[in-house]
Amino acid sequence: MNLKVLKIKTWIRDNLDQIVLSLLVVPALVLIFTFQLIPSAWTIWFSLTDIALVGKKALNWSFVGLKNYLDMITDIDFWRSMNVTIQYCAVSLVLRFTVGILAALFMTLSKVKGKILIAAIFLLPSAIPGIMHPYVWISMLEPKYGTLNTILKFFGLPPQSWTYGAVVESLIMINTWAGYTFTMILMASAFKSIPREYYEVAEIYGASRWQKFRKVTLPLIKFPLILCLILIFKEDIDDFTYAYMFTGESPRPDFKTELLSLYAYHKAFHYYELGFGCAVGFVIAIIVFVLTLLQLRVARV
């Protein structure tokens, strides 16, 4: 007995380092587990039932297995929503990335003057907290006096109905405006990390700016670039704050703004079909999951 205790004590003393280190991770893991994983598991459980928010079904709900998922696949609204979401995410991805990378270029590689001021200005949209974005943009989009329509009228072009008719365009404009800074910061840091010497060598060989960009810059930023694309897409799928601001509690009859996440929200809280809403939520989660795995695969390179 004594020998065993002695062995254990020695082992603890030798590996005290490792043990203490491992314990340090525990608090963070506990927090993440409690507030992210437990509710997620709960939601997945809900998605397998026909629970409703109110009404008879809220009292007598039962396990229905994959029925919600089957209903979802046969629901035409789900596919319409998927359609809207994919289009929105695709366009948003292209724009957010392009504006972001241009901004990053201006902040680092380009030859324009006043980089600090430029950086400060480009960082502004993400410095303004998210809740203010729609309100700030309403001043632009208001049909009668909004800035956008005033500019259009100034150039003799017809004013548009940004808050209603051209709503998807408005959403994309707002989302790009609010979301390009993410790309910008990542790509700027990537640009900065390319050692100057590479460019100087290229200069010696008489490369033009375009060639420098193609042969030196691009290959070295492949990793952050792909990472950016994945992260942007993940964010766009999840977030529906702007769509909600323009749509409200019930889906628009023409379904134009019905992003998948908004559709899940409406199903759960407007039609009270909590189980179904959670199922749609889980589908979104799976997409995010797959994208994250992809992101990690890239990180291995």
**Minimum CB distance to other proteins smaller for 4 or for 300:** 300
Minimum gap (Å) between residue 8 Cβ and other proteins: 20
> Quick one: 12 or 58, whose CB is closer to other proteins?
58
Residue 164, CB-side half-sphere exposure with 13 Å CA sphere:
6
**Least distance from other proteins to the Cβ atom of residue 91, Å:** 16
Q: How far is the CB of 3 from other proteins (least distance, A)?
A: 27
CB of 217 to other proteins, least distance (A): 15
Question: Between residues 93 and 212, which has the closer beta carbon with respect to other proteins?
Answer: 212
List CB contacts of 225: < 8 A, sequence separation 6 or more: 187, 190
The rounded distance, in Å, linking the Cα atoms of 230 and 224 is 10
DSSP class per residue in 187-221: HHHHHHTS-HHHHHHHHHTT--HHHHIIIIIHHHT
Cβ 68 to other proteins, closest distance in Å? 12
Distance of closest approach, residue 164 Cβ to other proteins, in angstroms:
4
For other proteins, give the closer residue by CB, 93 or 122: 122
For other proteins, the closer of residues 198 and 287 by Cβ is 287
| Smallest separation (angstroms) from other proteins to the CB of 98 | 10
Cα dihedral sign for 183, 164, 242, 38? negative
For other proteins, the closer CB: 4 or 210: 210
Q: Which residue has the tokens 């998605």?
A: 47
Contact 51, 275 (CB under 8 A): yes
85-94, Cβ contacts within 8 angstroms, sequence gap of 24 or more: 85/237, 85/259, 85/260, 85/261, 88/168, 88/171, 88/172, 88/236, 88/259, 89/233, 89/236, 89/237, 91/172, 92/172, 92/175, 92/176, 92/179, 92/232, 92/236, 93/229, 93/232, 93/233, 93/236
What is the full DSSP assignment across 246-261?
Answer: HH-SS--TT-TT--HH
CB of 5 to other proteins, least distance (A): 25
Q: Which is nearer to other proteins, 97 or 240 (CB)?
A: 240
At 228, the amino acid letter reads C
Which amino acid belongs to residue 269? F
Comparing CB distances to other proteins, the nearer of 93 and 174 is 174
> How far from 22 is each of 9, 65, 299, CA to CA, in Å?
18, 39, 24
